[in-house]
């Protein structure tokens, strides 16, 4: 069985991080899982296992980052013809336009598409004309997707509502964000939250892009925190410089730490008192699951239809309205860390282990592969760690 995945880059996004973990697991399970990268750039490249195999096309002198979607549309057909996969794995909403293009360009020669829905389909953050256009686009793309994977039951309902069921097969597979070793350690280590100066330590982890609404986060922290409280922001992105300037204007720069991209954000969580998520929209933010597994309470905006489910309907965190500085500030002001119930946490997050999710995907892939004629041989599957074509 051969499953072809395509990614634009090794950028620090959750979609890419999860996809790379899945590919590594599938290969361990004996699945032939080639990977086409639009370009070999980004911090996640440093986290790859030794000998991790991927292909990258020869790059034009003017770069591909600014037209990465069109570049992938141009290069992926050749990779499909070369590898002849049994199916094409679309790792997130960002990549669906490429999958649709493959169906249009290749017709019946395009393998079945298994698309993971990684972002919120409701998009309540958009003004209504843009929201109507987005929902129309969801309806347009649906006939081109053979199988859709969602990460919660609530998300499955959203797919049916906004995309229509049509001929799609909709499956629920939890987002694989947790190492098996972390699940085994739940409840076996105590909290190591720092108490420097007696204040509380809040944490943000994520790409510093517009959807994360960092201005709301910083304004709410300025309004709701005590003088001894601290906030650490882990991650990087285009909006980091603006966030640093805003922190200075708000007079809280001396209580804010910008840590940049880190290899293992989970290692930072036990040293804090709460995770803050201020996004306008999300799919299933893996950082929330990571925080809960680490025993860290979460204060999050209602940025996705499955957030209440993720937070265990109040057992593992607090939900506040989107784009509401006063509500987020009040939640920060009133936060008191309490002892975590290790058994409840383990039960809540166990579906999100790497091994379990990879196995669920593998079962789905076998059903898909069994439903079509076996792919023709595409030559030896063993390739060098990076190959330019």
DSSP 142-181: GGG-SEEEESSHHHHHHHHHHT--TT-EEEE-----B-HH
CATH, residue 304: 3.40.50.2000
Q: How far apart are CA 271 and CA 366, in angstroms?
A: 42
Looking at the structure, do residues 237 and 285 belong to the same domain, yes or no?
A: yes
Q: Does one domain contain both 109 and 226?
A: no
Instruction: For the chain, give the longest Cα–Cα distance.
Output: 66
Question: Which domain range does residue 314 map to?
Answer: 180-347
148 pairs with which residues across the strands?
Answer: 115, 170
Please say whether the dihedral angle defined by the alpha carbons of residues 357, 363, 364 and 366, taken in this order, is positive or negative.
Answer: positive
Q: Residues 216, 246: contact at Cβ < 8 Å?
A: no
Residue 94, burial from CB neighbour count under 10 angstroms (0-12, 13-18, 19+):
middle
**Contact present, 147 and 173 (Cβ < 8 Å):** no
Q: What is the pLDDT of residues 82-120, one digit of tens each?
A: 999 999 999 999 999 999 999 999 999 999 999 999 888
Predicted TM-score of the model (pTM): 0.77
More confident residue, 190 or 104: 104
Cβ neighbour number for residue 249 with a 10 Å cutoff: 10
Q: Find the angle CA(185)-CA(189)-CA(190) to the nearest 5 degrees.
A: 145
- Report whether 352 contacts 344 (CB < 8 A): no
Task: Flag whether 15 is in a domain.
Answer: yes
For residue range 224-250, list pLDDT tens digits in order.
999 999 999 999 989 999 999 999 999
Same domain membership, residue 186 and residue 168: no
Tell me if 386 is assigned to some domain: no
The confidence score (pLDDT) of residue 386 equals 54
């Amino acid at each position: 069985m051969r499953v072809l995945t395509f990614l634009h880059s090794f950028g620090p996004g959750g979609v890419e991080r999860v996809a790379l973990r899945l590919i590594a697991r599938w290969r361990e399970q004996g699945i032939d899982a080639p990977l086409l990268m639009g370009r070999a750039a980004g911090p996640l490249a440093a986290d790859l296992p030794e000998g991790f195999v991927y292909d990258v096309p020869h790059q034009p002198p003017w770069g591909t980052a600014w037209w990465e979607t069109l570049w992938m549309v141009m290069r992926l057909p050749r990779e499909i013809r070369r590898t002849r996969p049994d199916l094409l794995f679309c790792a997130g909403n960002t990549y669906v336009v490429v999958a649709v293009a493959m169906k249009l360009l290749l017709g019946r020669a395009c393998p079945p598409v298994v698309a993971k829905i990684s972002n919120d389909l409701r998009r309540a953050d958009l003004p209504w004309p843009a929201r109507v256009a987005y929902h129309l686009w969801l309806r347009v793309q649906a006939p081109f997707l053979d199988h859709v994977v969602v990460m919660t039951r609530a998300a499955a309902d959203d797919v049916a509502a906004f995309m229509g069921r049509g001929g799609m097969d909709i499956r629920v597979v939890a987002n694989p964000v947790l190492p098996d070793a972390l699940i085994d350690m739940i409840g076996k280590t105590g909290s190591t939250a720092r108490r420097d100066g007696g204040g509380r330590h809040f944490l943000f982890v994520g790409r510093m892009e517009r959807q994360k609404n960092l201005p709301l986060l910083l304004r709410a922290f300025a309004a709701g925190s005590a003088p001894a409280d601290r906030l650490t922001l882990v991650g990087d992105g285009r909006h980091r410089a603006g966030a640093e300037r805003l922190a200075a204007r708000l007079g809280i720069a001396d209580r804010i730490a910008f840590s940049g991209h880190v290899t293992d954000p989970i290692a930072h969580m036990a040293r804090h008192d709460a995770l803050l998520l201020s996004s306008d929209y999300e799919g299933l933010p893996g950082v929330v699951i990571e925080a809960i597994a680490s025993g860290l309470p979460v204060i999050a905006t209602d940025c996705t239809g499955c957030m209440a489910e993720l937070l265990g309907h109040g057992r593992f965190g607090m939900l506040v309205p989107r784009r509401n500085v006063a509500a987020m500030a009040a939640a920060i002001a009133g936060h008191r860390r309490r002892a975590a119930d290790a058994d409840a946490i383990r039960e809540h997050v166990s579906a999100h282990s790497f091994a379990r999710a990879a196995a669920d995907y593998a079962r789905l892939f076998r059903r898909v592969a069994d439903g079509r004629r076996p792919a023709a041989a595409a030559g030896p599957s063993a390739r060098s760690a990076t190959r330019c074509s």
